[in-house]
Amino acid sequence: MTDYNFAYLDEQTKRMIRRAILKGLAIPGYQVPFASREMPMPYGWGTGGVQLSAATLTPDDRLKVIDQGADDTTNAVSIRKFFEKTARVATTEHTPDASVIQTRHRIPEAPLSEDQILIYQVPIPEPLRFLEPSEVETRKMHELSEYGLMHVKLYEDIARHGHIATSYAYPVQVEGRYVMDPSPIPKFDNPKLSDCAAIQLFGAGREQRIYALPPHTKVVSLDFEDHPFDPSKADAPCALCGDTSSYLDEVITDDAGTRMYVCSDTDHCQTRREAGHSKETAA
Amino acid sequence: MYVAVKGGERAIDAAHDWLAEQRRGDTTVPELDVAQIREQMTLAVNRVMAEGSLYDPDLAALAIKQARGDLIEAIFLIRAYRTTLPRFGTSRPLDTGAMDCMRRISATFKDAPGGQVLGPTFDYTHRLLDFKLAADGEDGASASAAVEPPETAPARVPHITGFLGRDGLIEQEPASDEAPPDLTRTPLELPTTRALRLQALARGDEGFLLGLAYSTQRGYARNHAFVGELRIGTVPVEMEIPELGFTVELGEITLTECETVNQFTGSKTEPAQFTRGYGLSFGQTERKAIAVALVDRALRWRELGEDDQGAPAQDEEFVLSHADNIQATGFLEHIKLPHYVDFQSELELVRKLRRQATQATETEAAQ
């Protein structure tokens, strides 16, 4: 690996990505096209996030990588190893200790600070994509703030199901302008997008788009006055740390289908257990 | 009891060890070396170079070995390597008229200057398994001294479409020395230009383009293509070095070029004329080059004033967004990755909806 540059990408490419990041930060929620590179992991494995991390990391950084909230899921391990090898940066599993956090599908439970960057892996950056397949059309819709179609979709959900039937990748509006896809985080995490102290960067490698939220940006989940946005989670405490307010994974523990709920954010759960919390202390 | 989330790291290491073992296979069978793949799996090497967008037979052969013969995986390895290479500049436009052809055929003229040269083709073989190849030792063909190449190859083999062009029978493509855009350095913007489309098609998946091209033959934006000419051979690549003030030859590459002659257009002001489709691809990759030419022609409907028939092969955005097999396979296969979190939120929602539905029915029943 000695033949590769720091953090894999060459400096020209990083410069190009940094320009896209700066443009994204200047126009919060706007999808900036960028010349996404082929990476040594497949599209869909987080190539957008990896490119953002590569362009963001400095030798002094401390990197945390999570997938589904956990540091030890296979893809998180693989991406963390990639940067250990190509950038030789320090890594951590502890959210407050990380300066750069790459994530897939979750926002950490611990509040983020001003000296942190949260990098999301994004599969489909276009929130309007499933309503309008053509990129030419959707870019025009963003230009004109023509978001009626999205509201009609949400309304149709309510008419059909009595609820907005989107539970993850729930669309948001940024500072009253761009409608944005928050990546497939559960809608439970949506409130954490708003007024976040950290810089939030979103990278979609295959779709060649970068977008961003500068610190303390106002991000509103789309809803209706009579059907307000409702961040939801499993109605149970964590079986390990007893937390009643964190997002939970449901685990099937035996052949009879017994269920157990545990924190999806493994660092959050571990930290609580180390502080003496358990299911018993919660009750 | 709770093991699902932990243990990823050890699992990955074990999987990689097993993969390496499987790649090697039975160790009593001699290991393939990269040169053997390069020399004896040439068409696989060519496909990997073409869709990997990197002309390097040795690296392509290595990628095929490492990928256990999975060509899309090999293309992926090449792409991931290519992406780290610096880009020095743009070569002089290749002169395919100066190609040293090993194969050159025309389906539109029985004979033409330069002649019909079959070259090393499967076209007229009988597809019978040759059990002699399975037996140990050299097969008959290679033992009986290779065919002598003709003593004096003709210096220039003129393009067939040039003959049609001289009589105004085929549309003229305006010449341009402009450096084409680079799809791997600039994000794709739609609508795009023909040069960029051809570039995207050249690295597109052979199977996808084959299917699309075939669909045009079966009536989805039919444009009735004749293979005006198909040529395979080597051409020199030259680059102008500004510091030197002259061009230097960097080397030779093998290319396949296909020019189709398609249905004519005409109007009150312009008499009928044939139109063109064009495909150019690294190595001996003629299925690919022909497919590219057919799809190129179908995509030109607007420019040629044809109707949009709503056919997939006419839809630039559809074709270009889905032709890249590395993008496609990545996104397709990523659904194997964990989606616990999203699925969990869906579970919550479905349960909630069901609960409310049950409550509603119960209330109705009670009334």
Q: Which uninterrupted H or E stretch holds A67? A: strand A62-67
Q: A51 with A136, same domain?
A: yes
As a whole number, the mean pLDDT across chain B is 89
Q: A264 with A204, same domain?
A: no
CA end-to-end distance (rounded Å), chain B: 47
The average pLDDT across B291-315 equals 94
Measure the CA–CA gap between B237 and B85, rounded to whole angstroms: 18
Measure the CA–CA gap between A220 and B367, rounded to whole angstroms: 41
Residue A49, pLDDT > 50, answer: yes
The average pLDDT across B19-44 equals 97
Residue of B5, B188, B337 with shortest CB distance to A208: B188
Domain ranges of chain B: 8-82, 96-138+152-329, 337-366
Q: A102 with A38, same domain?
A: yes
Residue B2, pLDDT > 50, answer: no
Tokens of B1: 């009891």
Residues contacting A254, CB < 8 A, separation 6+:
none
Tell me the CATH number at A30.
3.40.50.11310
Q: A181 with A264, same domain?
A: no
User: How many domains does one find in chain A?
Assistant: 2
Residues contacting A70, CB < 8 A, separation 6+:
A76, A264, A265, A266, B5
Q: A108 with A198, same domain?
A: yes
Q: What one-letter code names the amino acid at B64? A: I
Residue at A139 is within a domain: yes
Is the CB of A251 inside 8 Å of chain B's CB atoms?
yes
Measure the CA–CA gap between A60 and A62, rounded to whole angstroms: 7
Measure the CA–CA gap between B287 and B293, rounded to whole angstroms: 10
Q: The whole model's pTM is what?
A: 0.85
Residue B248, pLDDT > 90, answer: yes
Measure the CA–CA gap between A276 and A283, rounded to whole angstroms: 13
Residue at A233 is within a domain: no
Please say whether the beta carbons of A32 and A51 come within 8 A: no
Q: A140 with A266, same domain?
A: no
Closest Cα partner for A185 from A109, A262, A241? A109
Optimal mutation site among B13, B199, B341, interface A, most CBs of chain A within 10 A: B341
Measure the CA–CA gap between B165 and B171, rounded to whole angstroms: 7
User: How big is the CA angle at B263 (ends B258 and B269), to the nearest 5 degrees?
Assistant: 120
Confidence of residue A156 (pLDDT cuts 50, 70, 90): very high
Q: What is the pLDDT of residue B138?
A: 61
B8–A37: do the CB atoms touch at under 8 Å? no
Confidence of residue B218 (pLDDT cuts 50, 70, 90): confident
DSSP B271-301: --EEEEEEEEEESS-HHHHHHHHHHHHHHTT
d(CA B103, nearest CA chain A) in Å? 34
Residue A277, pLDDT > 50, answer: yes
Confidence of residue B177 (pLDDT cuts 50, 70, 90): confident
pLDDT in tens, B83-121: 999 888 889 999 999 999 999 999 988 888 888 899 999
Tokens of B316: 């630039």
Q: What is the pLDDT of residue B6?
A: 58
Q: What is the pLDDT of residue B73?
A: 97
A77–B8: do the CB atoms touch at under 8 Å? yes
Query: Which of A173, A204, A221 marks a domain boundary?
Result: A221
Q: What one-letter code names the amino acid at A185? A: I
The average pLDDT across B125-136 equals 85
Measure the CA–CA gap between A121 and A136, rounded to whole angstroms: 23
Q: A168 with A262, same domain?
A: no
Q: A204 with A99, same domain?
A: yes
ipTM of the complex: 0.75
Q: A148 with A256, same domain?
A: no
Query: Which of A221, A240, A257 marks a domain boundary?
Result: A221
Catalytic residues of A: 29, 238, 241, 263, 269
Please say whether the beta carbons of A262 and A248 come within 8 A: yes
Tokens of A99: 């300066």
Q: Which uninterrupted H or E stretch holds A200? A: strand A199-204
Measure the CA–CA gap between B222 and B119, rounded to whole angstroms: 30
Residue A282, pLDDT > 50, answer: yes
- CA A234 centroid distance within chain: 20
Residue at A109 is within a domain: yes
Q: A60 with A19, same domain?
A: yes
Q: A144 with A54, same domain?
A: yes
Measure the CA–CA gap between B22 and B11, rounded to whole angstroms: 16
Closest Cα partner for B161 from B110, B229, B99? B229
Interface of B with A in 17-56 (CB under 8 A): none
Is the CB of B192 inside 8 Å of chain A's CB atoms?
no
Give me the sign of the Cα torsion angle A33, A34, A38, A42: negative
Q: What is the pLDDT of residue B3?
A: 45
pLDDT in tens, A174-228: 999 999 999 999 999 999 999 999 999 999 999 999 999 999 999 999 999 999 9
The dihedral over CA atoms of B208, B214, B215, B220, expressed in degrees to the nearest 10, equals 130
Exposed/middle/buried for residue B353 (C-beta within 10 Å: 0-12, 13-18, 19+): middle
Confidence of residue A73 (pLDDT cuts 50, 70, 90): confident
Which residues form the domain of A274? 248-282
Closest Cα partner for B184 from B289, B79, B88, B281? B79
B317–A135: do the CB atoms touch at under 8 Å? yes
Residue at A238 is within a domain: no
B331–A123: do the CB atoms touch at under 8 Å? yes
B345–A188: do the CB atoms touch at under 8 Å? yes
Confidence of residue B273 (pLDDT cuts 50, 70, 90): confident
Closest Cα partner for B262 from B252, B277, B248? B277
Is the CB of B361 inside 8 Å of chain A's CB atoms?
no
